[in-house]
Amino acid sequence: MSTDPSLTVLKAFRVLDLFRVHRQVGVTQCAELLDLTRANAHRLLVSLAAAGALERIDGGQYRLSIWMFEVGAQVPLLRALTEQSQVPMERLVAETGLQAHLAVRDGTELIYLYKISHVDGRVRTRPGTRNPLYATGLGKILLAGAPESVIDEVIRQGLRPFTRYTKTSPALLRAELADVRRTGFAYDHEERQVGVSCVATGLHDRTGRVIAAISVPNDSEQRRPDGALHRALRGTARAIEARLHRLPSGVLAAA
């Protein structure tokens, strides 16, 4: 019996989805994670490598190819956000001496789009990785600007603690989000990673809708005065927004 081509395509995308969590995947791991036979897992990995989506490395492992990065970089909104944010964020890092991050919301998670740092900071992130919305400054900015249904879903999924400082009370989270909307800033005081705090603010389209967020994380023991960070972040956000607002309106429509 022949296999439905559409099912094969869906299985291939399930394989690609593994790389959102795992940097490298082998045949056995792929088979176990997706409940496939080793033969099917091997066939899918080899086919994706032949198509250019994956590349085979030492030890029989596979990883995403440069071609996949190039394809993803062409998503209009993400490309525009990254390109228009680079120069202002470089200035922000030069001014503060800290790392800077750019992120967008995808469902109930955030995705890091861009990171710049002139030092080896303690915040271990890279473009493409995800984090929960409720336990990060970036995430709280994005969650505060999201529809109420998204907030309800985040709470329904559970507010899992990452450290002893993570807020796990729905009432406290809703109160904090209200404060974020009022002030335009969000904070993470060791809620995702012990020893690391951050302050974040949003990027808005022409209608005032939050489409992305930027943050400056830093070691809690070496926290800079909030006033200085507020001014630096607000100025950077305004510079990025000015660049974004000069683009054709359709570019930001997918946010």
**What is the spatial distance between Cα 167 and Cα 73, in angstroms, rounded to a whole number?**
34
DSSP 115-132: EE-SS--S----TT-EEE
Q: Which CATH number is 5-70's, of 1.20.58.1690, 3.20.20.70, 1.10.10.10, 1.10.287.110? A: 1.10.10.10
Q: Whose CA is closest to 240, among 74, 94, 91, 70?
A: 91
Q: Are 121 and 186 in contact (CB under 8 A)?
A: no
CATH 3.30.450.40 fits 73-252, yes or no: yes
**What is the spatial distance between Cα 67 and Cα 54, in angstroms, rounded to a whole number?**
8
Token pair, residue 110, equals: 């955030």
Residue 92 three-state SS: helix
**H helical segments located in the chain:** 5-17, 27-34, 38-50, 66-72, 76-96, 137-144, 148-157, 170-183, 226-244
User: pTM score, two decimals?
Assistant: 0.72
The tens place of each residue's pLDDT in the chain, 255 residues long, gives: 455 666 788 889 899 888 877 888 999 999 999 999 999 999 999 999 999 899 998 888 998 887 876 676 566 677 888 889 999 999 999 988 888 999 999 889 998 988 887 665 555 666 778 889 999 999 999 999 999 999 999 999 999 999 999 999 999 999 999 999 999 999 998 999 888 888 999 999 988 999 999 999 865 655 554 688 889 999 999 999 999 988 876 666 655
Q: Where in the chain is the domain with CATH 3.30.450.40?
A: 73-252
DSSP structural state of residue 168: -
Q: Which residues contact 55 (CB under 8 A, 6 or more apart)?
A: 49, 62, 63, 64, 65
Token pair, residue 54, equals: 């994956």
**What is the spatial distance between Cα 55 and Cα 63, in angstroms, rounded to a whole number?**
6
Token pair, residue 255, equals: 């946010």
Q: Where in the chain is the domain with CATH 1.10.10.10?
A: 5-70
The amino acid sitting at 77 is: L
Q: Are 200 and 137 in contact (CB under 8 A)?
A: yes
